């Protein structure tokens, strides 16, 4: 007998049929002798639809009310799934995030989990029920208000519950058969990865592969929760994200022991580029600028400073940030223009980021050469570059991003034998 946390994403519970299909799967899992806790996302694209509705009634909806609104999406699917399971003759109870003991800080829209006390979930499970928990939400102990964890946050709810309840595994059910070497919607020939280390999965998620929420991967690694990413539309074995990187590498006989192991290509369209033009080239200015941006609760990603043209005494500083944080960062920078003494700010949302992820890349110059050669052969111009031990990222224009992803994927011979199946979802 095992203890399994199963998380079903929006595309798996998009309509009544989907909810009934998921209900059967949950009941089957329980009938095989397992204790099951289920975490659900909002149906289909309903979170986006709620966001659109909010934009129609207000230019600047209060963050507290936004969380009240968005948390409703998951409440709808949790109750419907409980009904569908009960209709099959099993017994299920649904719980909101706060009923399930998901305690967060008070930062609406990107709340962080500070405590998980799932007493009611434990009681329900011990009674033989299936416990269904609304993903992506919690409650702040300070304000007693409902919070949400940020887009894609149901994955993190699932792992946090799996860790607190000491589950054997956390299964993330979605609309593809696992983690692929690239998004199968962009690269149909992408290959499914059987096992991936949590470090590489972290880089993939941080680079925009939205198959898993970044914080879910971090949490799973910290608490040693094995993750199994798989499709709710098939019974194929999915991708295992292993908590320890050492478990992963299997070297075939005759293979060189030190060689880069490329895990995949990720892309991201959710960032914008800000360029602060004509910054006085004196010590302290970069700190001032990033202090201002941090004060607006913005996460910065890539940073480039252009060398000042000789004698001008001024320089340009560019950085990328999530589009959703763009307005706040621009407002904060605008207010400080006179104090910082820069000349202008440029803002561009039509960018895309592409990242190649794999162990042992930094120490292998051939990898960078092959990467940049592939991009130049495909006619893709590069705007910004950043690297880490196991990642190379570039910013390109948004309209060339798909071409760039396919070119790099092909250059590193990552294609699989068969075309990947995308079972559902809009990719939104």
Distance of alpha carbon 117 from alpha carbon 161, whole angstroms: 9
Compute the half-sphere exposure of residue 24: CA atoms within 13 Å on the CB side of its CA.
Answer: 10
Distance of alpha carbon 65 from alpha carbon 271, whole angstroms: 25
Least distance (Å) between residue 126 CB and ligand ADP: 29
Report the residue from 36, 179, 354, 390 that binds ligand ADP according to the rule CB under 6 A: 179
**Minimal CA–CA distance to 95: which of 73, 72, 121?**
121
Q: Which is nearer to ligand ADP, 140 or 355 (CB)?
A: 355
From the centroid of its chain, how far is CA 288? 30
Binding residues for ligand ASP, total number by CB under 6 A: 12
In the stretch 2-41, what mask flags binding to Mg ion with x, by CB under 5 A? -------x--------------------------------
Binding residues for Mg ion, total number by CB under 5 A: 2
State yes or no: residue 44 binds ligand ASP (CB under 6 A): no
State yes or no: residue 209 binds ligand ADP (CB under 6 A): yes
Are the C-beta atoms of residues 101 and 116 closer than 8 Å to each other? Answer: yes
The partner in contact with residue 211, picked from ligand ADP, Mg ion, ligand ASP, none with C-beta cut-offs of 5 to 8 angstroms by kind, is ligand ADP
Q: Which segment (40-48, 116-124, 230-238, 295-303) binds ligand ASP by CB under 6 A?
A: 40-48
Tell me which H or E stretch contains 324: none
Report the residue from 171, 175, 268, 271 that binds ligand ADP according to the rule CB under 6 A: 175
State yes or no: residue 152 binds ligand ADP (CB under 6 A): yes
Q: Which is nearer to ligand ASP, 10 or 358 (CB)?
A: 10
Least distance (Å) between residue 5 CB and ligand ASP: 14
Q: DSSP for 178-201, please give it.
A: S-BSS-TTT-TT--B-SEEEHHHH
Least distance (Å) between residue 217 CB and Mg ion: 12
Tell me which H or E stretch contains 354: strand 351-359
Q: Which is nearer to ligand ASP, 73 or 101 (CB)?
A: 73
Q: Which is nearer to ligand ASP, 11 or 207 (CB)?
A: 11
Binding residues for ligand ADP, total number by CB under 6 A: 22
Least distance (Å) between residue 39 CB and Mg ion: 11
Report the residue from 18, 44, 73, 358 that binds ligand ASP according to the rule CB under 6 A: 73
Q: What is the DSSP letter of 32?
A: T
Report the residue from 118, 152, 326, 352 that binds Mg ion according to the rule CB under 5 A: 152
> Contacts with ligand ASP in 130-149 (CB under 6 A)?
135-136
SS3 at position 98: coil
Least distance (Å) between residue 195 CB and ligand ADP: 14
Q: What is the DSSP letter of 185?
A: T
Q: What is the DSSP letter of 310?
A: T
Q: Which is nearer to ligand ADP, 140 or 189 (CB)?
A: 189
Are the C-beta atoms of residues 125 and 183 closer than 8 Å to each other? Answer: no
Report the residue from 6, 10, 160, 173 that binds ligand ASP according to the rule CB under 6 A: 10
Q: What is the DSSP letter of 192?
A: B
Report the residue from 4, 5, 6, 10 that binds ligand ADP according to the rule CB under 6 A: 10
- 134, burial (CB in 10 Å: exposed 0-12, middle 13-18, buried 19+): buried
Q: Strand runs (DSSP E) across 27-135, as ranges?
A: 35-40, 92-95, 102-104, 113-116, 130-134
**Minimal CA–CA distance to 40: which of 117, 92, 106, 103?**
92
Residue nearest to Mg ion (CB): 152
Least distance (Å) between residue 21 CB and Mg ion: 18
**Minimal CA–CA distance to 211: which of 227, 188, 234, 189?**
227
SS3 at position 198: helix
Residue 325's CB is within 10 A of a number of other CB atoms, namely 19
Q: Which residues bind Mg ion (CB under 5 A)?
A: 9, 152
Q: Which residues bind ligand ADP (CB under 6 A)?
A: 9-12, 41, 152, 174-176, 179-180, 182-185, 209-211, 264, 422, 425, 427
């Amino acid at each position: 007998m095992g203890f399994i946390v199963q998380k079903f994403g929006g595309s798996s519970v998009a309509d009544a049929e989907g909810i009934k299909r998921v209900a059967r799967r949950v009941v089957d899992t329980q009938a095989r002798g397992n204790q099951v806790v289920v975490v659900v996302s909002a149906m289909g694209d309903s979170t986006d639809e709620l966001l659109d509705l909010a934009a129609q009634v207000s230019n600047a909806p209060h963050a507290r009310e936004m969380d009240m609104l968005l948390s409703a999406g998951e409440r709808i699917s949790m109750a419907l799934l409980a009904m569908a399971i009960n209709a099959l003759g099993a017994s299920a109870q649904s719980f909101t995030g706060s009923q399930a003991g998901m305690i967060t800080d008070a930062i609406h829209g990107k709340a962080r989990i500070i405590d998980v006390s799932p007493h009611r979930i434990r009681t329900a499970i011990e009674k033989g029920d299936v416990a269904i928990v609304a993903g992506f939400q919690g409650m702040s102990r300070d304000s007693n208000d409902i919070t949400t964890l940020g887009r894609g946050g149901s994955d993190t709810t699932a792992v946090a519950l799996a860790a607190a309840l000491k589950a054997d595994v956390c299964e993330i059910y979605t609309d593809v058969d696992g983690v692929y070497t690239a998004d199968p919607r962009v690269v149909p020939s992408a290959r499914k990865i059987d096992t991936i280390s949590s470090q590489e999965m972290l880089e993939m998620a941080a680079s925009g592969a939205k198959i898993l929420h970044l914080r879910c991967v971090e949490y799973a690694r910290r608490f040693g929760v094995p993750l199994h990413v798989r499709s709710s539309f098939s019974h194929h074995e999915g991708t295992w994200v292993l908590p320890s990187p050492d478990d992963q590498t299997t070297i075939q006989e005759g293979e060189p022991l030190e060689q880069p192991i490329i895990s995949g290509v990720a892309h991201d369209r959710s960032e914008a580029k800000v360029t602060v033009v004509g910054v006085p080239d004196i010590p302290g200015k970069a700190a001032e600028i990033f202090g201002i941006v941090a004060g607006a609760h913005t996460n910065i990603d890539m940073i480039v400073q252009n060398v000042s043209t000789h004698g001008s005494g001024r320089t340009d500083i560019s950085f990328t940030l999530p589009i959703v944080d763009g307005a706040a960062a621009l407002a904060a920078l605008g207010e400080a223009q006179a104090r910082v003494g820069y000349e202008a700010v440029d803002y561009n949302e039509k960018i895309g980021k592409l990242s190649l992820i794999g162990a042992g890349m930094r120490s292998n110059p051939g990898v960078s050469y092959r990467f940049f050669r592939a991009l130049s052969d495909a006619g893709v111009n590069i705007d910004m570059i950043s690297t880490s031990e196991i990642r190379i990222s570039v910013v390109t224009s948004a309209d060339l991003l798909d071409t760039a992803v396919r070119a790099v994927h092909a250059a590193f011979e990552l294609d699989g034998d068969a075309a990947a199946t995308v079972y559902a979802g809009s990719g939104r």
